Amino acid sequence: SGKIHRLEVENFKSYRGHQVIGPFHDFTAIIGPNGAAKSNLMDAISFVLGVRTAHLRGSQLKDLIYAADDSEREGKGRKAFVRMVYRMGDGTELEFTRSITAAGGSEYRVDGRVVGWDEYKSRLKGLGILVSARNFLVFQGDVESIASKNPKELTALLEQISGSEELKRDYEQLEAD
């Protein structure tokens, strides 16, 4: 088993230049005043885990790049990345990097090698990180929305988080046979 050891962020949201966040422990709490970048850190983790941009606050990739002001925000050719350094039980590290390229798209790397989204996702899955479920991360506003779900909606959410949703069709097929 392993864990996220640290994040390296470059020009992502309020993180200007190259910054290392961590190391993280078995349990890590992020504290700070309003606007300190707590949510931006959660966004960085979601981003590097491949969460679709629409699920992040800030609807376009380019909005996720650090900008000191409006004129910088309009500037072209800006780049950003988030790298997650994952440390395995035996101490070996694996690096996952998602970048926003100068052309404004996403680029994925595993240990520095450019890979397609499918390979990136399956390498994460190999570590037991389920990319299809975004709800194992609790975002601002999620607590209220979870608290107001009915039992049926809660069951659906748990099925999504646990991954049993993926087996649903097989299960129903077997039951029907």
Question: Residues interacting with ligand ATP, by CB under 6 A?
Answer: 13-14, 32, 34-40, 63, 65-67, 140
34 binds, among ligand ATP, Mg ion, none (CB under 5 to 8 A by kind): ligand ATP
| Smallest gap from residue 137 Cβ to ligand ATP (A) | 13
Closer residue to ligand ATP, CB minimum distance, 62 or 87: 62
Q: Which residues bind Mg ion (CB under 5 A)?
A: 38-39, 140
Count other C-beta atoms under 10 Å from residue 29's C-beta.
Answer: 6
SS3 27: coil
CB 48 within 8 A of CB 98: yes
Residue 109 pairs with which residues in a beta bridge?
97, 114
Dihedral in degrees, nearest 10, Cα atoms 21, 22, 26, 32: -60
Sequence letter at residue 97:
T
167 binds, among Mg ion, ligand ATP, none (CB under 5 to 8 A by kind): none
| Smallest gap from residue 140 Cβ to ligand ATP (A) | 6
Task: Pinpoint the alpha helices (H) of the chain.
Answer: 38-48, 70-74, 117-126, 142-147, 151-162, 168-176
CB 80 within 8 A of CB 58: no
| Smallest gap from residue 112 Cβ to ligand ATP (A) | 25
37 binds, among Mg ion, ligand ATP, none (CB under 5 to 8 A by kind): ligand ATP
| Smallest gap from residue 116 Cβ to ligand ATP (A) | 27
24 binds, among ligand ATP, Mg ion, none (CB under 5 to 8 A by kind): none
| Smallest gap from residue 146 Cβ to ligand ATP (A) | 18
